[in-house]
Amino acid sequence: MAKAHQSLRNKKSPLKIMSKPTSKPLEQNENRLTVGKGCCSFLLGPAMLLGAIYMIFWNEGNYIKTAHALDELRPLVQHVENTATPSPELEGKPVHIQGTATTPDILRDESYGIEANAISLSRSVEFLQWEEDKKQRPANDTKPRTMGVSDYHYSRDENWVYSYHRRWVKRPIISSSFYDVRYRNLNCVYYQENNHNFLAQNVFIGGYSLHEGQIKRISTTRAVVNPAQVPLALQSRAALNGKYLHIGRGREGNTYYLVNPQEPAVGDARISWSIIGPSQPVSLIAVQRGNSFVPYTASNGISIDLLYTDTLSAEQCLDEADSANLLTLWMLRMGGWLIMWGGFGCMLIPLANLPPVCRKLAQGGDCVISLLLGTLLSLLVMAIAWFFYRPILAASLLAALCGLTWLLIKKNFKKA
């Protein structure tokens, strides 16, 4: 009996023999992957912080410089009543002009036979693709009665619920990384084409000619241009449907695949065209140069060239520019703050690989801590920028803050 027990004790279980060589490499790979992600995050974090610091500092300075340039330009602008002939007396001076921008040019999209008298002609291309949507999986998620077990399995993971829809999109979608394996690699494109915008070269306001940069900024509601015929090169694989030209599969051998616009297939393309008409109301502020315009360059080097597709006075144009400058300031402030928040979050990720105390800190408080650190650093950079660009105003605000704090402390001491 003793020998039997000894032989059983020395005999190794086949399960243990198989588990040892397979578990260690898996654990090692997981550890390497975790360490690699931590290192990448720790390196990415400082880069994000430096980029956010530069963005916020530059944004504060750009806002102040642009505001100074607009204030400098405001008293110099002269309104032009008669736009029929440029006045030699206004040569090299900032002018304000209201009028109707017109063009005699005929714009053509030669590839498809589309032409129109317009300031701008745009070609827009869309592709029918499978698109993956995902939303947070609710805690009480259960299988619907109408859904099969396999469909339920393929559409969910631990955190997300996935759904798939066919949509017309501006760019082809790569489906090889879709979560549901049944939708992977289903997307394709049968016809390649790019969006394009054709601009008129000759746009006039009376006797004045607009330059290309001003023409590009003329924007309003576009009118649709319906294609008249299918190009010869696309016969039998394209069809017209209202404002769209539908294009499907090409030729395979002697067989063409006819396109049905009412039931398009994944991979089909559709093209539409729209124009900005040949006459548009515009208001502009720029420096007169001959019969055209150049931007106004302020003493601090900021260039200003304003054009709006509307009838606005000189004061309204400058007020719109001030509003746009303020909007840009706050948008870039928010962008820099969000980048800082993400940068500190990336730097806290490696703490999860350290002792349990640091791991709990990283898992439970990294979002709050990175938010606080990002907010504090953003405010600090803004304050430094104001001291750099507006030292007198910044010093006055700091002195007022210190004085108010001193009065509050003194009042509290008296009450005590």
Question: Does 264 reside within a domain?
Answer: yes
Least confident of 82-86, 247-251, 286-290: 247-251
Question: Does 91 reside within a domain?
Answer: no
pLDDT band at 371 (very low <50, low <70, confident <90, very high): confident
pLDDT band at 25 (very low <50, low <70, confident <90, very high): very low
Identify the pLDDT of residue 46. Answer: 84
pLDDT digits (tens, 9 = 90+) for 225-284: 999 889 988 888 999 998 999 999 887 777 777 788 888 999 999 999 999 999 999 999
Q: Give the range of the structural domain holding residue 73, as residue numbers without chain letter.
A: 29-83+312-416
Question: 108 with 79, same domain?
Answer: no
- Residue 29 predicted with pLDDT over 50: no
Question: Does 290 reside within a domain?
Answer: no
Question: Is the pLDDT higher at 11 or at 104?
Answer: 104
Identify the pLDDT of residue 42. Answer: 60
Question: 43 with 144, same domain?
Answer: no
Question: Does 409 reside within a domain?
Answer: yes
pLDDT band at 409 (very low <50, low <70, confident <90, very high): confident
pLDDT digits (tens, 9 = 90+) for 180-203: 999 999 999 999 999 999 999 999
Give pTM, 2 decimals: 0.74
What is the three-state SS of the chain?
CHHHHHHHHHCCCHHHHHHHHHHHHHHHHHHHHHHHHHHHHHHHHHHHHHHHHHHHHHHHHHHHHHHHHHHHHHHHCEECCCCCCCCHHHCCCEEEEEEEEECCCEEEECCCCEEEECCEEEEEEEEEEEEEEEEECCCCCCCCCCCCHHHHHHCECCCEEEEEEEEEECCCCCCCCCCCHHHCCCCCCCCCCCCEEEECCCCEECCEECCHHHHHCCCCCCEEECCCCCCHHHCCCEEEECCEEEECCCCECCECCCCCCCCCCCCCEEEEEEEECCEEEEEEEEEEECCEEECEECCCCCEECEEECCCCCHHHHHHHHHHHHHHHHHHHHHHHHHHHHHHHHHHHHHHHHCCHHHHHHHHHHHHHHHHHHHHHHHHHHHHHHHHHHCHHHHHHHHHHHHHHHHHHHHHHHHHC
Question: 119 with 35, same domain?
Answer: no
What average pLDDT does the chain have?
Answer: 83
Question: 269 with 335, same domain?
Answer: no
Question: 131 with 249, same domain?
Answer: yes
Question: Does 288 reside within a domain?
Answer: no
Question: 264 with 133, same domain?
Answer: yes
Question: 269 with 134, same domain?
Answer: yes
What's the total number of domains in the chain? 2
Question: Does 324 reside within a domain?
Answer: yes
- Residue 354 predicted with pLDDT over 90: no
pLDDT digits (tens, 9 = 90+) for 392-406: 777 776 677 677 777
Question: 116 with 253, same domain?
Answer: yes
- Residue 23 predicted with pLDDT over 70: no
Identify the pLDDT of residue 38. Answer: 47
Least confident of 280-284, 349-353, 367-371: 349-353
Question: 109 with 254, same domain?
Answer: yes
Question: 393 with 257, same domain?
Answer: no
Question: Does 88 reside within a domain?
Answer: no
Identify the pLDDT of residue 47. Answer: 87
Q: Any idea how long the chain is?
A: 416
Question: 261 with 331, same domain?
Answer: no
Identify the pLDDT of residue 372. Answer: 80
Identify the pLDDT of residue 146. Answer: 84
Question: Is the pLDDT higher at 64 or at 381?
Answer: 64
Identify the pLDDT of residue 13. Answer: 41
Question: Does 160 reside within a domain?
Answer: yes
Question: Is the pLDDT higher at 358 or at 18?
Answer: 358
- Residue 36 predicted with pLDDT over 50: no
Question: Is the pLDDT higher at 20 or at 230?
Answer: 230
Question: Is the pLDDT higher at 214 or at 19?
Answer: 214
Identify the pLDDT of residue 16. Answer: 40
Identify the pLDDT of residue 35. Answer: 46
Question: Is the pLDDT higher at 328 or at 28?
Answer: 328
Question: 132 with 256, same domain?
Answer: yes
